[in-house]
Amino acid sequence: MEQDEFERMLALYSDNISGLMDNQLALTAQVQVLQAALASVLLHQANRPALLSTFQQYMAISKKAAPQLASRMEGLEAGMLALLGQHQA
């Protein structure tokens, strides 16, 4: 492999990594905004027990569908459960 070709490949890989990092930051920002919006709605919801039950059912389905993400979901799930009125010991 020639030096010029190697440098072009390195520049391309660097650009790709930079693009992936930008996408990750954009997704993180979107998630934060959606979490804030959802928390606002949940705090003003009159029928929290029904929402709690439905949320728990959907979380069980989500964890089963994506077991590789289940451990990462648990912290976020705990926050949502607290907003819905279920305090964990």
- List pLDDT tens digits, range 43-80: 888 888 888 899 899 999 999 999 999 998 988 888 88
Q: Does the pLDDT of residue 89 top 90, yes or no? A: no
Q: Does the pLDDT of residue 24 top 80, yes or no? A: yes
Same domain (yes/no): 16, 36: yes
Same domain (yes/no): 59, 40: no
Collect contacts of 35-38 with beta carbons under 8 A, ≥24 apart. 35/76, 35/79, 38/80
pLDDT for the residue numbered 76? 85
Same domain (yes/no): 38, 56: no
Same domain (yes/no): 78, 89: yes
Contact yes or no for 63/73 (Cβ under 8 A): yes
State the average pLDDT for the chain. 89
Orientation of helix 3-43 relative to helix 70-83, angle to 10°: 30
How many structural domains does the chain have?
2
Structure token pair of residue 15: 């650009």
Same domain (yes/no): 57, 22: no
Range of the domain at 56: 46-89
Q: How far apart are CA 82 and CA 55, in angstroms?
A: 12
Same domain (yes/no): 35, 52: no
